[in-house]
Amino acid sequence: MNNAHDLGAAAWRKSSYSNSDGGSCLEVTDGLPGVMPVRDSKISGGPALLFDVTAWSSFVSAVKDDRLPRA
């Protein structure tokens, strides 16, 4: 099975909560079936992590609902 995805032409986007100073932000891109690519916005040419879309959706919901444990 080939799990390689070409992200060279991906249209990355940051959260609307990100500020303009470049801080610690993540970028995501849509359009790849079954996966959600995520990367560090400070390293735009760097690697991306690929998450299962169901797991990513659960994570985002937990963040929005404040259901994650605090450090």
What confidence tens digit (pLDDT) does each residue in 4-51 have? 677 888 899 987 777 767 667 889 999 889 999 999 888 888 899 999
10: helix, strand or coil: coil
Residue-level pLDDT at 18: 73
Distance CA 64, CA 49 (A): 21
Residue-level pLDDT at 1: 37
Residue-level pLDDT at 8: 82
- The residue with tokens 């991906």 is 10
CA-based radius of gyration for the chain: 13
Residue-level pLDDT at 2: 46
Q: What is the pTM of this model?
A: 0.76
